[in-house]
Amino acid sequence: MPQDRELLRATFDSVAQDYHQARPGYPEDLYDALVEQAGLAPGDRLLEVGCGTGKATIPLARRGFRITCVEIRPRLVAAARQNLAGLVSAEVIAADFETWRPRPADAFDLVFAATSWHWIDPAVKYQLAWQHLRPGGHLAVWTAAHVVPAGGDTFFDDLHEVYDGIGEGLPPGITTPRPEELPRGTAEIEASGLFGDVTACLFDWEITYTADEYIRLLDTFSGHLAMAGWKRDRLYGEIRRRLAERPDGRLRRHWGTVLSVARRRDDTKPVP
């Protein structure tokens, strides 16, 4: 993994508790679609890549699946174990997914990653997922992203000038997507040559935030954690000032995600 990406991934460990409180969960409809498309049944064995604090683990464990979670960051591991303490069907292993190996007899019905797949080394992640799955098993990945639908909150358009002013603006030509513009991710999965029958389903939802709630959310994003202190101070000050001018003091942030599910191809194998 490139050094800068590894450093950004490491920032999450410093905000383990805030991550669980501030980051949104995923819609129940997403889990319904995942179960249906992967053909899962209670008791099936799932492997989660980068569980963080267990945001996606808890709903699936409550549905009766046996889940092994692999998480590299020690504070996230501790937080996940605490959050999953009452769910005996889930275990959290402190390990790097790229080097971790399951017991020889283990084979999983599903390998999944919720807002973590992009942190895994692209040179090996599909090969490892294929190796950890039973024949006919499935891979599922999804990532929560900021989207702005038609009629969405204009707060973020106005805030672009603040990001530009501190040198943290979007690259030229890049804009916040509408939900329907989110990349489906199917081409990358298919290009691995190890998975077929790839499907993609879009989900979107809205959450309202006070200034304190929104700043707490931003403090769980690697890019904001890596900012110089003066940049965060200016940005957060502007967020507080601008929201204080609104009658309800709140903003509306829209979230979107694409659930991609693919079946393991059993007529091929990873190239060593």
Q: What is the mean pLDDT of the chain?
A: 92
pLDDT in tens, 58-105: 999 999 999 999 999 999 999 999 999 989 899 999 999 999 999 877
Using 50, 70 and 90 to split pLDDT, how confident is the model at 19? confident
Four-CA torsion 67, 80, 253, 224, nearest 10 degrees: -130
**CA 67 distance to own-chain centroid:** 17
Instruction: Give the burial class of 48: count Cβ atoms within 10 A of its Cβ; 0-12 exposed, 13-18 middle, 19 or more buried.
Output: buried
Longest dimension (CA), the chain: 61
Four-CA torsion 158, 160, 161, 166, nearest 10 degrees: 140
Using 50, 70 and 90 to split pLDDT, how confident is the model at 54? very high
Using 50, 70 and 90 to split pLDDT, how confident is the model at 3? very low
Please state whether the predicted TM-score (pTM) of the whole model is above 0.85. yes
How do the domains of the chain map onto residue ranges? 3-146+178-206+255-264
Residue 5: predicted pLDDT: 47
What's the average model confidence in pLDDT over 163-183?
A: 92
Considering only 12-26, 48-62, 142-156, 257-271, which range has the smallest mean pLDDT?
A: 12-26
pLDDT in tens, 131-168: 999 999 999 999 999 999 999 999 999 999 999 999 99
CB of 80 within 8 A of CB of 51?
Answer: yes
Q: Which CATH number fits domain 3-146+178-206+255-264: 3.40.50.700, 3.40.50.150, 1.10.10.350, 3.20.20.70?
A: 3.40.50.150
What's the average model confidence in pLDDT over 186-207?
A: 96
pLDDT in tens, 211-243: 999 999 999 888 898 899 999 999 999 999 999
Cβ neighbors of 6 (< 8 A, separation 6 or more) are none
Residue 16: predicted pLDDT: 67
Residue 8: predicted pLDDT: 46
Residue 103: predicted pLDDT: 82
Query: Which residue blocks in the chain are alpha helix, DSSP H?
Result: 3-10, 16-22, 28-38, 57-62, 74-83, 125-132, 155-165, 186-191, 211-218, 222-225, 229-244
What's the average model confidence in pLDDT over 17-46?
A: 93
Cβ neighbors of 265 (< 8 A, separation 6 or more) are 130, 193, 194, 195, 196
